[in-house]
């Protein structure tokens, strides 16, 4: 059987229907010596790339849209640049043992009798630049630019205003700030903590005047603020009152949207009243809120890794109606395992060894579960924790998910992490081994500057790892036993040191620190694990990432790594 040996874009033509667009002519060579020509649009390449989820790179969508000049369309130069990029993309696929035999690639490079234009709806990206009006070109440019880079959002808790005043924030770091929290009350309206509205006003004014386009969204609810949600959503009259309160808040404080952090519809959460009709009532609320706010405002919800619970007590199998009303679903991929005598990871990237006792609770599982239920990945925002848990424990491995089986292969693990073969992680994994104490019986005390500064340079990081730079639970964290601990406190209390007794849990893609003499285990996220999760989000088409919460960062150490991994 003949096998495709080479493929490259050798020219281009134009077609007139449904409007003038570009066809790229691909010369396909097979091992039996035959040569054929296949014509494809740029959007066909995009569809192939999405299907294969391959590690290659297409020429940017905006390559044709961002250089529009009213009277001088540089069609030939732009198209030539794109042809070279598409040829390189095909060459990369055919060099991969996995992709060169993939059914989708073979079908893509096989001539078809069906006209190209009839196989897929027209995409403006396929149009000849000179066939678009200036207005249409600018609209396409705006749309593609917005789609090109994932968003980075962060929750700003009202209690952090003394530590980080709103007007002190570097707004260039944030696309969206979610102000937490207002809460629903017994009257189906909204309540604010004392003084929080003043903080909110300052935050909105500072963000909108920053020149960085940062949006501010009001988050309503929270773990301790969800008591009245079920009652508020229970009737059309109550929902109408609540919608009016939300609209009033948006107008009063010049907000960019509303975030509903109901923990959780159909479930008790922190001991809250709940009903089997909660999720259905929530959908009715979203429809009314969207109608009242219009299409330009953000409507989001903080959710778990599984869709909302339906009337049968099981996760909903179809949430597409919710997605139609919502801008984002913010997946809270954290608190999977809290503090305990047998601690597990706080925020698993995946169940990579296949042995988690909670396989449905990870970033990887969340993506599969929400998209299978009809919520587009492009509307999912992956939540990342800027904190960990401190456990009173003598364990030296994470329970529930750690202890990979014999024969565990790192390369296969990497492929499972990102879903991309032949591509490494965002940061090199810390390859930690047991380290003896210094000759004087003490352990090194130089701060781990890689973790503190968020150094993201691969070669430098690898060099530091070879020199033995690792993290260690050397600080006394006993005051945090059984509690969450901000990343900034892990650093401030000296828990990140050289010569560690630290580990990397390959099965969840998270670090942890331990000190058996102090009976302390810290499960947390660092520059490596957060970089990996952000890369996972970007490569799998998420809308972006958000963090809980910005006040727990060590300056902007973790924020910078997340943004970098998102391509910002």
Residue 53 resides in a domain: yes
Integer Cα distance of 368 and 372 in angstroms: 6
Per-residue confidence at 473, pLDDT binned at 50, 70, 90? Answer: very low
Tokens 């000296």 — which residue?
Answer: 494
Q: What integer pLDDT is reported at residue 193 of this predicted model?
A: 95
Residue 208 resides in a domain: no
Residue 67 resides in a domain: yes
- Span 453-464, mean pLDDT? 33
Per-residue confidence at 343, pLDDT binned at 50, 70, 90? Answer: very high
- Span 344-357, mean pLDDT? 89
Residue 162 has pLDDT above 70, yes or no: yes
Q: What integer pLDDT is reported at residue 344 of this predicted model?
A: 94
Residue 446 has pLDDT above 70, yes or no: no
- Span 16-24, mean pLDDT? 72
Domain count, the chain: 1
pLDDT in tens, 547-559: 999 999 999 999 9
Integer Cα distance of 400 and 340 in angstroms: 12
Per-residue confidence at 447, pLDDT binned at 50, 70, 90? Answer: very low
Distances in whole angstroms, Cα of residue 193 to Cα of each of 220, 284, 370, 548: 12, 28, 33, 19
Q: What integer pLDDT is reported at residue 73 of this predicted model?
A: 37
Integer Cα distance of 91 and 96 in angstroms: 9
Residue 54 resides in a domain: yes
CATH code, domain carrying 123 = 3.30.1520.10
Residue 470 has pLDDT above 60, yes or no: no
**Residues with Cβ within 8 Å of residue 128, at least 6 apart in sequence:** 14, 20, 21, 22, 75
Whether the full predicted model's pTM is greater than 0.85, yes or no, is: no
Q: What integer pLDDT is reported at residue 56 of this predicted model?
A: 72
C-alpha closest to that of 261 among 308, 316, 315: 308
- Span 400-423, mean pLDDT? 54
Per-residue confidence at 400, pLDDT binned at 50, 70, 90? Answer: low
Residue 46 resides in a domain: yes
List the beta bridge partners of residue 383: 546
3-state class (DSSP) for residue 470: coil
Residue 206 resides in a domain: no
Average pLDDT, the chain: 81
Tokens of 216: 């501010």
Per-residue confidence at 424, pLDDT binned at 50, 70, 90? Answer: very low
Beta-strand relationship, 387-392 and 520-523? antiparallel
**Residues with Cβ within 8 Å of residue 111, at least 6 apart in sequence:** 36, 37, 38
3-state class (DSSP) for residue 471: coil
Q: What integer pLDDT is reported at residue 297 of this predicted model?
A: 95
3-state class (DSSP) for residue 524: coil
- Find out whether 62 and 36 touch, Cβ atoms under 8 Å: no
Q: Select, from the ranges 27-31, 284-288, 523-527, the one with the highest average predicted confidence (pLDDT).
A: 284-288
Q: What integer pLDDT is reported at residue 16 of this predicted model?
A: 62
pLDDT in tens, 487-540: 999 888 887 653 334 578 878 889 898 888 899 999 999 988 898 899 889 888
pLDDT in tens, 167-214: 999 999 999 999 999 999 999 999 999 999 999 999 999 999 999 999
pLDDT in tens, 62-80: 433 333 333 333 455 567 7
- Span 103-107, mean pLDDT? 91
Integer Cα distance of 160 and 224 in angstroms: 17
Q: What integer pLDDT is reported at residue 252 of this predicted model?
A: 98
Q: Which residue has the higher pLDDT, 447 or 274?
A: 274
Tokens 């007590």 — which residue?
Answer: 313
Angle subtended at Cα 405 by Cα 402 and Cα 409, rounded to the nearest 5 degrees: 100
pLDDT in tens, 33-55: 899 999 998 888 988 988 887 77
Angle subtended at Cα 277 by Cα 271 and Cα 280, rounded to the nearest 5 degrees: 120
Residue 319 resides in a domain: no
Per-residue confidence at 452, pLDDT binned at 50, 70, 90? Answer: very low
Q: What integer pLDDT is reported at residue 464 of this predicted model?
A: 35
> What number of H helices and E strands is found in the chain?
16, 17
Integer Cα distance of 152 and 542 in angstroms: 11
Residue 244 resides in a domain: no
List the beta bridge partners of residue 35: 29
| pLDDT cut 70: percent of the chain above it | 74
Which residue range(s) make up the domain with 38? 4-146
C-alpha closest to that of 302 among 246, 380, 234, 242: 380
3-state class (DSSP) for residue 236: helix
C-alpha closest to that of 332 among 162, 155, 67, 74: 155
Q: What integer pLDDT is reported at residue 476 of this predicted model?
A: 86
């Amino acid at each position: 059987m003949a096998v495709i040996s080479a493929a490259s874009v050798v020219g281009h033509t134009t077609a007139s229907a449904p409007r003038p667009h570009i066809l790229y002519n691909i010369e396909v060579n097979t091992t039996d010596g035959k040569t054929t020509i296949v014509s494809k649009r740029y959007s066909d390449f995009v569809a192939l790339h999405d299907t294969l989820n391959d590690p290659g790179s297409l020429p940017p969508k905006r390559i044709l849209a961002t250089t529009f000049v009213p009277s001088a369309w540089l069609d030939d130069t732009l198209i030539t640049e794109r042809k070279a990029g598409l040829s390189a993309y095909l060459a990369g696929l055919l060099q991969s043992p996995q992709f060169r035999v993939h059914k989708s690639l073979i079908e893509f490079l096989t001539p078809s009798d069906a006209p190209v234009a009839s196989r897929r709806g027209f995409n403006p990206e396929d149009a000849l630049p000179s066939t678009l009006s200036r207005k249409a070109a600018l609209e396409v440019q705006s749309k593609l630019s917005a789609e090109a880079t994932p968003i980075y959002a962060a929750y700003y808790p009202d209690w952090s205003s003394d530590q980080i005043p709103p007007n002190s924030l570097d707004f260039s770091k944030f696309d969206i700030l979610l102000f937490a929290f207002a809460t629903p009350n017994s009257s189906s309206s909204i309540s604010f903590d004392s003084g929080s509205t003043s903080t909110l006003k300052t935050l909105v004014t500072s963000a909108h005047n920053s020149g960085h386009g940062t949006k501010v969204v009001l988050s309503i609810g929270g773990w301790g603020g969800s008591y009245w949600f079920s009652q508020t959503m229970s009737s059309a009259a109550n929902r109408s009152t609540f919608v009016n309160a939300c609209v009033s808040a948006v107008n009063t404080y010049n907000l960019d949207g509303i975030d509903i952090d109901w923990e959780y519809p159909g479930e008790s959460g922190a001991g809250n009243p709940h009903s089997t009709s909660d999720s259905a009532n929530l959908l009715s609320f979203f429809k009314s809120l969207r109608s009242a706010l219009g299409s330009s405002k953000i409507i989001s919800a903080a959710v778990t890794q599984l869709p909302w619970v339906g009337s049968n007590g099981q996760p909903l199998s179809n949430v597409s109606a919710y997605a139609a009303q919502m801008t984002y679903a913010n997946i809270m991929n954290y608190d999977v395992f809290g503090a305990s005598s047998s601690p597990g990871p706080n925020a698993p990237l995946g169940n990579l060894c296949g042995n988690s006792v909670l396989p449905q609770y990870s970033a990887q599982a969340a993506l599969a579960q929400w998209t299978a239920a009809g919520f587009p990945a492009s509307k999912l925002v992956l939540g990342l924790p800027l904190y960990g848990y401190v456990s009173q424990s003598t364990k030296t491995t994470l329970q529930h998910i750690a202890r990979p089986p014999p024969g565990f292969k790192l390369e296969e693990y990497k492929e499972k992490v990102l879903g991309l073969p032949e591509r490494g992680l965002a940061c090199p994994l810390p390859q930690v081994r047991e380290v003896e104490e210094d000759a004087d019986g003490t352990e090194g005390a130089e701060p781990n500057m890689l973790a503190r500064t968020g150094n993201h340079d691969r070669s430098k990081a690898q060099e530091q790892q070879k020199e033995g730079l690792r993290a260690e639970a050397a600080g006394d964290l006993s005051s945090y036993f059984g509690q969450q601990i901000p990343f900034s406190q892990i650093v401030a209390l000296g828990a990140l040191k050289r010569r560690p007794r630290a580990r990397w849990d390959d099965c969840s893609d998270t670090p942890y620190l331990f000190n058996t003499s102090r009976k302390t285990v810290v499960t947390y996220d660092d520059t490596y694990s957060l970089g990996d999760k952000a890369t996972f989000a970007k490569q799998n088409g998420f809308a972006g990432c958000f963090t809980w919460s910005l006040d727990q960062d060590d300056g902007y150490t973790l924020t910078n790594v997340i943004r970098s991994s998102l391509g910002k």
